[in-house]
């Protein structure tokens, strides 16, 4: 009895912490069944990394810390959300079918290849649970997006971190060399968060083809929509060719859906079935979000416009950094990483005191700032604050 009350209050507090959204809903059921110690360590780890985001004031002059797209969602999407409200007392089963059909048709896959959830985060967590089972090794680049490996490590997996190459790209050869009989998954983030670097498509394809014969390869393509030809750069073609590759996509970035929560993976039907055991899937996605995603999926004019504005803001940022004498890593995504000349947390709090939210990292024994690309006004605010402390 006491246990079930604790469990219920844990679920409730988790939901509140996540902003009352379905952020973790894809995994709550399974997490709730875990021993308390593990639940806590999963959450602590996630929140430690996201502290800058979760503790940020609700109103910030320039919110450049979570790689969101301030140009979205589109007008079409907002209209679809409004129109969906009257029938939002109904479960969106049929609409969900329309959405999965649309995505599967565009990508040329079967619906059995597709698993959707409230953002890609719940599926990353499901993957951490499934592929990290039994203390398996999860190989990632370092630094890279750490959601999946840190959750896996909190649940008992071994996180094998492989440094980047000298030009801040994923070191595929070194990652491949780390594969052992205990490897459960290789996680590739392309373009990589937080460096914004992108791998050569043919080199990555060859790597995935080879490596996936030994262990599954997870390719997180959260930022692929920022590349000139996302379909050509995607590893979905290898899923279609039958390789054991799991490709994750999200509507949170170029589509501007971070607060709406919609994402998916495309993988072999067996892998989809495995991950379904650890996620709630379709039932996590709200009717307004389903309507939004149907209306906005591949809305070319909006996507191209958001991309154009992002590129203009990014060029402006490059000019500011150059003028102040700072080097940066050229980015293929909606954020830029550059080396700073003071301790990272101090830099972030100096910027925050000036109303500008950014993130900081330490690697190669150096301090780095990652700044997301916002509107031109936000980049100007960044520039004004940065000039004061640089």
Ligand X SMILES: Cc1ncc(COP(=O)(O)O)c(C=O)c1O
Question: Which residues of the chain form contacts with ligand X (CB under 6 A)?
Answer: 67, 119-121, 145, 189, 193, 220, 222, 250, 252, 258, 263
CA-based nearest residue to 151, from 251, 16, 279? 279
Q: How far is the CB of 123 from ligand X (least distance, A)?
A: 8
C-alpha span between 324 and 113 (Å, rounded): 48
Contact indicator for 336, 67 with CB cutoff of 8 Å: no
Q: How far is the CB of 331 from ligand X (least distance, A)?
A: 13
Q: Which is nearer to ligand X, 67 or 284 (CB)?
A: 67
Q: Which is nearer to ligand X, 192 or 320 (CB)?
A: 192
Residue 367 CA, chain-centre distance (Å), reads 23
Q: How far is the CB of 37 from ligand X (least distance, A)?
A: 25
Q: Which is nearer to ligand X, 193 or 279 (CB)?
A: 193
Q: Which is nearer to ligand X, 95 or 359 (CB)?
A: 359
Q: Which is nearer to ligand X, 119 or 216 (CB)?
A: 119
Q: Exposure of 334 by Cβ count < 10 A (0-12 exposed, 13-18 middle, 19+ buried)?
A: buried
Q: How far is the CB of 42 from ligand X (least distance, A)?
A: 15
CA-based nearest residue to 236, from 251, 255, 256, 217? 217
Q: How far is the CB of 183 from ligand X (least distance, A)?
A: 21
DSSP 65: S
C-alpha span between 76 and 300 (Å, rounded): 12
Q: How far is the CB of 185 from ligand X (least distance, A)?
A: 15
Q: Which is nearer to ligand X, 74 or 120 (CB)?
A: 120
Q: How far is the CB of 144 from ligand X (least distance, A)?
A: 8
Contact indicator for 141, 192 with CB cutoff of 8 Å: yes
Q: Exposure of 388 by Cβ count < 10 A (0-12 exposed, 13-18 middle, 19+ buried)?
A: exposed
Q: Which is nearer to ligand X, 196 or 320 (CB)?
A: 196
Taking 3-state DSSP, the helix, strand and coil percentages for the chain, each rounded to the nearest 5, stand at 50, 15, 35
């Amino acid at each position: 009895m006491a246990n079930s009350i604790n469990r219920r209050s844990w679920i409730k507090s988790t939901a509140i912490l996540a902003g009352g959204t379905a952020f973790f809903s894809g995994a709550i059921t399974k997490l709730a069944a875990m021993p308390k110690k593990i639940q806590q360590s999963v959450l602590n780890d996630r929140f430690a990394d996201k502290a800058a985001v979760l503790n940020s004031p609700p109103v910030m002059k320039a919110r450049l810390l979570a790689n969101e797209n301030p140009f979205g969602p589109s007008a079409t999407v907002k209209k679809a959300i409004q129109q969906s409200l009257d029938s939002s007392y109904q479960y969106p089963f049929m609409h969900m079918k329309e959405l999965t059909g649309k995505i599967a048709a565009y990508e040329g896959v079967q619906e059995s290849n597709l698993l959707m959830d409230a953002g890609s985060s719940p599926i990353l967590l499901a993957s951490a649970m499934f592929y990290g089972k039994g203390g398996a090794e999860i190989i990632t680049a370092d630094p890279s997006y750490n959601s999946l490996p840190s959750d896996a490590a909190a649940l008992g997996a071994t996180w094998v971190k492989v440094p980047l190459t000298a030009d801040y790209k994923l070191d595929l050869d070194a990652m491949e060399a780390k594969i052992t009989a205990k490897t459960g998954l290789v996680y590739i983030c392309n373009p990589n968060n937080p460096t914004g670097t992108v791998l050569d498509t043919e080199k990555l394809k060859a790597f995935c083809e080879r490596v996936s014969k030994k262990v599954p390869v997870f390719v997180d393509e959260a930022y692929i929509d920022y590349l000139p030809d996302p379909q050509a750069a995607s590893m979905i073609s290898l899923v279609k060719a039958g390789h054991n590759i799991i490709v994750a996509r999200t509507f949170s970035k170029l589509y501007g859906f971070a607060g709406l929560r919609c994402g998916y993976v495309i993988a072999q039907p067996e892998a989809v079935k495995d991950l379904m055991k650890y996620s709630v899937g379709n039932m996590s996605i709200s009717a307004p979000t389903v309507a939004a995603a149907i209306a906005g999926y591949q809305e070319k004019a909006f996507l191209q416009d958001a991309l154009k504005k992002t590129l203009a803001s990014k060029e402006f940022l490059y000019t500011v950094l150059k003028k102040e004498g700072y080097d940066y890593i050229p980015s293929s995504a909606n954020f830029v990483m550059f080396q700073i000349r003071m301790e990272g947390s101090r830099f972030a709090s100096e910027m925050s005191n000036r109303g500008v939210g950014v993130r900081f990292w330490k690697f190669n024994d150096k301090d780095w700032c990652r700044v997301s690309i916002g509107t031109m006004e936000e980049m100007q605010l960044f520039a004004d604050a940065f000039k004061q402390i640089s």
